[in-house]
Structure 1
Amino acid sequence: MNTQNLLVELFVEELPPKALPALGEAFAHTLAASLQAQGLASADSVVTPYASPRRLAAHITAVAAKAADRALAQKLMPVAVGLDADGKPTPALLKKLGALGLDADAAPRLRREGEGKAETLFIDTVAPGASLADGLQKALAEAIAKLPIPKVMAYQLADGWTTVKFVRPAHGLVALHGADVVPVQALGLTAGRETQGHRFEASADPVTLRHADGYAEQLRTEGAVIANFAERRDTIARQLSAAAAAAGEHLRPIDDPALLDEVTALVERPNVLRCEFDPAFLAVPQECLILTMKANQKYFPLLDAEGKLTHRFLVVSNISPADPSAVIQGNERVVRPRLADAQFFFEQDRKRTLESRVPGLDKVVYHAKLGSQGERMRRVRAIAGAIAAEIVPARPVALAERAALLAKADLLTDMVGEFPELQGIMGRYYALHDGEDALVAEAIEDHYKPRFSGDHLPRSDVGLAVALADKTETLVGLFGIGERPTGDKDPFALRRHALGIVRMLIEKENVLRSLPLTALLAIGNAAFQGVAGYLDASEEVAAFVLERLANALREQGYTAQEVDAVLALRSEMLAEVPRRLDAVRAFSALPEAAALAAANKRVGNILKKSEVAVSADAIDPSRLIEPAEQALAQALQAIAPQADAAYAQADYTASLKALAALKAPVDAFFDQVMVNAEDPALRANRLALLARLQSAMNQVADLSRLAA
């Protein structure tokens, strides 16, 4: 099959920067997948996406001008319907053949499959392969329709009548198969070979593309555009590092992958420049200055070796003038009022203490059914005090309650009003300025932690108590009024709160070992007593938290069976779960594991079907009449204490490994003993023996969940 490489480009107005990487990947791969499905490209075709501020493109190797013809077996209808008693086509069959473009002359090509009433008529046909023009037209329409567009724009074409909906107005379409234009249309455009380069620095206008394989190089040399997103990102990263090194020894740009992605999506030909601001602004907390430079200006602040902000920053410009001084001075002039605003907010906020702002929280609505932020603060304070009393060794409850009292007060400051991302951070600065205990100030910042996956946990036990209290109050309260996550929607970030609780209970086991999940939720529930419309949803919240834990464990590489086996026991102490999982994994590697898991599952099924209550303590040795059941009882008597002793020492791996010796007597029992004996007393005794076996085996995990 004769193949050439394909290039497709949509030239548009400036695309939304945060969505650009996803748009580029989706456009290229959906286009390629559609061509592969039509037989125009193969699974070995290499797909290269391109995405710049004003273009989405894809380069796909080994694309055929025409797909191969395909043999098709067309199912028609049952023989009884399609053929009359003489074996001639019925009107129904002729109508079906006509719909396929065939006539009665095709009847000899009919074949039968099946027997009796299920016998069916088939006809073998050949479906001509799609031409590239037709196939690409279909693929292009599919790629455009499936783009993950954050917000669609509606605009009119040049005729003044036709309305088109797309992420941004499109102004050009390129489709090249090798050196040949493929005649396709999209968004009111007809494909050609011309595109646009950089607005100011392109050496050719337009850029006339000669061949699909020369796309990236022509755009670079004639259009002054780096079309590949990843290449442009790497170029910016290298320039940032070089500029930081040139600015001073041990300086480095702030590490922010999201900012780097956004800036990559804003420029076509990056040029990093070094700028400065007045060092007097460094008296303002660096978090404020860094945030305003990143969020408002897309600058990269420079940090010293200790991670402290310097008065230097880097700008990624989209132009490369011979004398960049005007660009540098312009950016320095623009950033000054931004930093001055931050300085003003900081100075004004410190004129009032955090404590003086607390009454104002009663005027801020938290939730229509749960009251104000002030009411919420009082609930968090009560929960934090109760948690602090359980921490080992116990911390002064007063510190946790004080931190909880002040934790939300910075929401009423000018700085947090301007930059909500600084809540908690500014609370710490203002608390220290007010003379609060350092642990209280630290806890005000840390009570939001962990803010995201992989974030640090609170640094102190006081912060831990307030962070747990804040997340527990949120989960218990919102579940209690029926606000639950549904599908992808989680407006209150309840999944993140649940994972935060999981991490703290597991990773801070040394100080929270006397606080099981159920006790924590009970403390949270108690804080809502008397709130109108609130219903205790502690059990549902516990299940939700365990579900989040299960998902997290599976993402860490544990199998679904291993996770289910451990969580089926609903362990009170979440910190035990990782150790139990490791024990289950070690047990699963034993040669006896599969047989014992299957036997455990069988035991469970037998006991579920029992019509009477079964007690593991009701074994009567005198009724153990079969050698196999006697051997199992003796094995349990010898092995169960070993497993129990290891379990009591939290050596879960040793506890499970001790059970491996039960395989032979368990196998013999099921081979030689009838559990459901006709004698009721004998049957009850054997069921009790199985209940004892199940109890011994399922202390660490429900091993039946490991059975295939």
Structure 2
Amino acid sequence: MTSLLVELQTEELPPKALKKLSEAFAQNLTKSLASQHFLADGSRTTVYGSPRRLAALVTNVLAKSPDEAFKQKLVPVKVGLDAEGNATPALLKKMKALGIDADVKSLKQVDDGKNVQLFYEGIRPGVELAHGLQTALEAAAFNLPIPKVMHYQLADGETTVSFVRPAKHLVVLYGEDVVPVSLLGLKADRLTSGHRFHTHELIAIKSADGYEEQMMTEAKVMPSFAKRREKIVHDVVEGARAIHGEAIMPEDLIDEVTALTEWPVIYESSFEEEFLKVPQECLILTMQQNQKYFAVQDEKGRLMNRFFLVSQLKAKDGGDAISAGNARVVRARLADAKFFYDQDKLQTLESRIPLLKNVVYHNKLGTQAERVERVKAIAAKVADLIGANRDQAVRAAQLAKVDLLTLMVGEFPELQGIMGEYYALHDGEDEEVALAIREHYQPRFAGDALPSTPVSLAVALADKLETLSGLFGIGQMPTGDKDPFALRRHALGVLRMLIEKNLNVAITDLVNIGYEAMKEVANVRDARDELLAFFEDRLRVMFKDKGYSAQEVDAVLATHPTMVLDVPARLQAVRAFAQLPEAEALAAANKRIGNILKKTVPETDVVDVALFDSEAEKALYEALCVAEPKAKAHYEAGHYTDLLKGLAPMKAPVDCFFEDVMVNVEDARVRANRLALLWRLHRTMNMVAELSRLAK
């Protein structure tokens, strides 16, 4: 089988988008070829992507797509054939439009339930690769997740085309042969550009299968994004190990550096030790964001004055000049960071508090100063609920946003909270308060660590509750995939703290506290019901992601549990209940009882045994009298699995009841008595979860 190579060589592509662009280009190309039946069994696609090229190698590609049988509906018989069975003008017109040349007698008649239709059955001949590939190329190039399209003119000075970056060369080889296709005003060829500095002439690609090796040896380009990334990680890790350190390598930074280089070469450099007096988070962020360097820490996690950089050049002098040049550049950057830090320390956080009134938080919710007062009020009440130090929580809440006014956070917004801790400690604030300033933003993202102390938890909860209460109160809820204020993340953070930190606090209490702090703000309405529903939706997503079924989650959340901490135990209990032999019948009975009670709700749950006129009623009542107190005891103790498993003996009396007893009889007293019995049974069964949601 023959391989197909497609390479689109361009000007420098946006580095943060390169990985997705290259994967989408190859995926779109392969998908289109497959849909046109050009791929034989065992076909595989290799993705290539470098700063100046998107490419893909597809193996086992057919030179011509196979002939295929097809069936085409034409028109109803009554429209296509006249009384003598000859073709009508309508049928002939339809066949001509479809390119079908066939004797009308060869057409099939099929009854589709509405009409008898005329069908043509034939063989559609395959097409040459060049024809199908033209379609595939356009699908590959014009369906990319392009951050921003560029419009540029072709060499003729008249034609304008649009792509992520101007395209320079198009290589399309089937085996060793060029396929005559075109894209973005370029005709396919075998010529491409090599490394910008190590090569000067165009490279003629000899064959599809030899593309990667030839690019490595002649073009000095490593076209595989994955292999470049692997080399960068390996060389940086080994370099750090050689100096008894460990490289700090965030995934996003690795991807970005990989997307900036076609021929990665790693060099080591350093900076003066005096800069290590600046908080290491500042230095690391400066190196990563401004220079794309990999910082290094020692075995104790302390930042070293060494770093690694990724270059495109294999220097003749071993890289001394490159290392020295980058040392000069980073020195200037770190000097700026040191200046910001030194200047910030000249003013205490407390002295900056009045300046928060000059910072607008939201045009409908006031300034940061007003917001801080609300967060303080919420933090005080939350601290009381969770047993945190109230005074420390209020103090941390008062100082939590002040570092937004510092030079360092102004330059690096990612350091908000982090710098607040450093400045608070410098000012002599309590360590618990300083830590809470750092941690009150947590969790910042999915999987992030939670605040570590009760004081930090109180302030973090307060900060998120104020945001949610305020923005919901002015109608700024998330819609669809739009969530500009990250409210889903805030809600998920609240839920994670309640569950993972074992906070025995009702979500309704927290929502009420948030509302109380917001209700004096003009234009803020009471949105507690919407906010509680939002929390419930986040719980639903959270536990589905943890592997619970939609039925299990819906059954638990249908009872609207206010103690979020209980939800995992309830879900485990529901899962255990579902394994019981009696579970299916009890869930179905629960659904039946629910449907009955929807029509008529009894005025009381008092059951009068004197009104029983069957053994089935009596047996169910006696079984309920045994199960009900046990269920209440298990519920109060939080033994939810024991509660649901304890319902198993109810199956037999429930089944007998519905077999032998009619609930809605004419006698009003008997009917009400039976409804009261079912009401109590339904209430007992649904303490932990609404079991009807488990019914099939």
TM class by smaller structure: over 0.9
Matched, 1:701 2:689: yes
Distance 1:115 1:479 in 2: 53
* Percent identity between the two aligned chains: 57
Alignment of 1:669-688 (within 5 A): 669-688=657-676
Q: Which residue of 2 aligns with 1:554?
A: 544
Alignment of 1:662-673 (within 5 A): 662-673=650-661
Residue identity in the other structure for 1:329: A
| TM-score (norm. length: structure 2) | 0.98
Q: Which residue of 2 aligns with 1:255?
A: 249
Distance 1:407 1:54 in 2: 45
Contact in 1 for aligned 2:229/2:254 (Cα 8 Å): yes
Distance 1:52 1:10 in 2: 11
CA deviation vs aligned residue, 1:303-337 (integer Å, no higher than 9, x gap): 01111101011111111113110111011011001
Q: 1:160 aligns with which of 154, 157, 161?
A: 157
Matched, 1:38 2:36: yes
Distance 2:604 2:566 in 1: 26
Alignment of 1:211-290 (within 5 A): 211-247=207-243, 249=244, 251-290=245-284
SS for the counterpart of 1:416 is: helix
Residue identity in the other structure for 1:522: N
Q: CA deviation at 1:639?
A: 2.2
Distance 1:66 1:678 in 2: 78
SS for the counterpart of 1:120 is: strand
| TM-score (norm. length: structure 1) | 0.96
CA deviation vs aligned residue, 1:609-631 (integer Å, no higher than 9, x gap): 22xx3256232212222222222
Distance 1:590 1:318 in 2: 64
Contact in 1 for aligned 2:41/2:60 (Cα 8 Å): no
Q: Which residue of 1 aligns with 2:296?
A: 302
Matched, 1:368 2:363: yes
Q: 1:185 aligns with which of 176, 182, 189?
A: 182
CA deviation vs aligned residue, 1:519-571 (integer Å, no higher than 9, x gap): 11111111112211110101101111111121111111111111111111111
Distance 1:257 1:458 in 2: 24
SS for the counterpart of 1:684 is: helix
CA deviation vs aligned residue, 1:214-254 (integer Å, no higher than 9, x gap): 1111111112221111111111111011100112x2x1001
Residue identity in the other structure for 1:455: D
Distance 2:92 2:295 in 1: 77
Distance 2:33 2:213 in 1: 25
After TM superposition, the structure 1 stretch with the greater mean CA deviation from structure 2, 94-103 or 161-170, is 94-103
Q: 1:135 aligns with which of 107, 110, 132?
A: 132
Q: Which residue of 1 aligns with 2:471?
A: 478
Alignment of 1:497-536 (within 5 A): 497-509=490-502, 512-513=503-504, 515-536=505-526
CA deviation vs aligned residue, 1:427-448 (integer Å, no higher than 9, x gap): 1111111111111111111111
Q: Which residue of 1 aligns with 2:606?
A: 618
> Structure 1 42/493 Cα, relative in aligned 2: closer, same or farther at 3 Å?
farther
Q: 1:407 aligns with which of 376, 400, 404?
A: 400
CA deviation vs aligned residue, 1:334-385 (integer Å, no higher than 9, x gap): 1001000000000001111111111111111111111111111111111111
> Structure 1 117/326 Cα, relative in aligned 2: closer, same or farther at 3 Å?
closer
Contact in 2 for aligned 1:616/1:689 (Cα 8 Å): no
After TM superposition, the structure 1 stretch with the greater mean CA deviation from structure 2, 669-678 or 238-247, is 669-678
Residue identity in the other structure for 1:388: A
SS for the counterpart of 2:646 is: helix
Contact in 1 for aligned 2:354/2:369 (Cα 8 Å): yes
Contact in 2 for aligned 1:176/1:211 (Cα 8 Å): yes
Matched, 1:602 2:592: yes
Q: 2:107 aligns with which of 93, 105, 110?
A: 110
Contact in 1 for aligned 2:76/2:116 (Cα 8 Å): yes
> Structure 1 587/221 Cα, relative in aligned 2: closer, same or farther at 3 Å?
same
Q: 1:656 aligns with which of 622, 644, 649?
A: 644
Contact in 1 for aligned 2:283/2:334 (Cα 8 Å): yes
> Structure 1 207/633 Cα, relative in aligned 2: closer, same or farther at 3 Å?
same
Q: Which residue of 1 aligns with 2:203?
A: 207
Matched, 1:291 2:285: yes
After TM superposition, the structure 1 stretch with the greater mean CA deviation from structure 2, 65-74 or 114-123, is 114-123
Matched, 1:170 2:158: no
Q: CA deviation at 1:63?
A: 1.1
SS for the counterpart of 1:213 is: coil
Where structure 1 has 5 or more consecutive residues not aligned to the other structure, the ranges are none
SS for the counterpart of 2:69 is: strand
CA deviation vs aligned residue, 1:393-433 (integer Å, no higher than 9, x gap): xx332211111111111111111111111111111111111
Residue identity in the other structure for 1:200: F
Q: Which residue of 1 aligns with 2:438?
A: 445
Q: Which residue of 2 aligns with 1:64?
A: 62
Residue identity in the other structure for 1:549: L
Matched, 1:24 2:22: yes
Distance 2:579 2:522 in 1: 53
Contact in 1 for aligned 2:39/2:62 (Cα 8 Å): yes
Residue identity in the other structure for 1:419: F
Distance 2:389 2:263 in 1: 58
SS for the counterpart of 2:548 is: coil
After TM superposition, the structure 1 stretch with the greater mean CA deviation from structure 2, 616-625 or 288-297, is 616-625
Q: CA deviation at 1:86?
A: 2.4
Contact in 2 for aligned 1:80/1:117 (Cα 8 Å): no
SS for the counterpart of 1:575 is: helix
Contact in 1 for aligned 2:344/2:406 (Cα 8 Å): yes
CA deviation vs aligned residue, 1:95-115 (integer Å, no higher than 9, x gap): 212212346x62111221117
Q: CA deviation at 1:116?
A: 8.3
SS for the counterpart of 1:345 is: helix
Distance 1:396 1:114 in 2: 79
CA deviation vs aligned residue, 1:631-684 (integer Å, no higher than 9, x gap): 222221222322222222101111111111212222222223222223333222
Contact in 1 for aligned 2:73/2:118 (Cα 8 Å): yes
After TM superposition, the structure 1 stretch with the greater mean CA deviation from structure 2, 210-219 or 299-308, is 210-219
Distance 1:540 1:216 in 2: 56
Distance 2:113 2:273 in 1: 92
Residue identity in the other structure for 2:58: I
SS for the counterpart of 2:369 is: helix
> Runs of 4+ in structure 1 displaced over 4 angstroms?
none
Distance 1:183 1:622 in 2: 94
Distance 1:221 1:623 in 2: 95
Q: CA deviation at 1:120?
A: 1.3
Contact in 1 for aligned 2:271/2:327 (Cα 8 Å): yes
CA deviation vs aligned residue, 1:454-493 (integer Å, no higher than 9, x gap): 1111122111111111100001100110111112211111
Where structure 2 has 5 or more consecutive residues not aligned to the other structure, the ranges are none
Distance 2:442 2:543 in 1: 20
Q: Which residue of 2 aligns with 1:313?
A: 307
Residue identity in the other structure for 1:544: F
Q: 1:83 aligns with which of 61, 67, 81?
A: 81
Distance 1:681 1:345 in 2: 82
Q: Which residue of 2 aligns with 1:100?
A: 98
Alignment of 1:630-641 (within 5 A): 630-641=618-629
Q: CA deviation at 1:165?
A: 0.9
Q: 1:691 aligns with which of 656, 666, 679?
A: 679
Residue identity in the other structure for 1:479: F
SS for the counterpart of 2:4 is: strand
Q: Which residue of 2 aligns with 1:377?
A: 372
Contact in 1 for aligned 2:16/2:255 (Cα 8 Å): yes
Contact in 1 for aligned 2:635/2:643 (Cα 8 Å): yes
Residue identity in the other structure for 1:480: G
Q: Which residue of 2 aligns with 1:346?
A: 341
Distance 2:591 2:76 in 1: 47
Q: CA deviation at 1:518?
A: 0.9
Distance 1:162 1:617 in 2: 81
